[in-house]
Copies of this chain bind each other. A is one copy, B any other.
């Protein structure tokens, strides 16, 4: 049973988890393009690209228009906002410029009692995260 995760964030992250699809987004950041234009740099068949586009579309990351027999694709970056916001919750753990780190950890320590379990002391001691 691998029923695909259907929540928005999962669908977006899954769409980003492929270099071909990220390259497609990079291409579309320069402006709309047709399927053939999008497919041109890749060593794969058109149907394969078409599938990637469908994944991106389901994630809301592209939209598709109609002009004669062309279906121009356009970047729709809005879903990246939620993904980026999710990541921001963790920025404190990697970005040293966030000196709110100590305050953040203190707040956690205050609100969660003596500890988080039997696994030992949390990282509250220093900034070596």
A120 in contact with B22 given A17-B13, A90-B29 (CB within 8 Å) = no
Q: Mark A66-80, 1 if CB is under 8 A from B, else 0.
A: 010010101101101
Q: Are B5 and A19 in contact (CB under 8 A)?
A: yes
A118 in contact with B70 given A13-B16, A22-B9, A89-B29 (CB within 8 Å) = yes
Interface centre among A67, A115, A118 (most CB of B within 10 A): A118
Measured CB to CB, the residues of A under 8 A from B are 5, 7, 9-11, 13-14, 16-19, 22, 25-26, 29-34, 37, 67, 70, 72, 74-75, 77-78, 80-81, 83-84, 86-91, 93-95, 108, 112, 115-120, 122-124, 129
Q: Are B116 and A33 in contact (CB under 8 A)?
A: yes
A16–B30 CA distance with the chains assembled, in angstroms: 27
Interface centre among A25, A116, A122 (most CB of B within 10 A): A116
With both chains docked as a complex, state the minimum distance between the C-beta of A79 and any C-beta of chain B, in angstroms: 8
A89–B32 CA distance with the chains assembled, in angstroms: 17
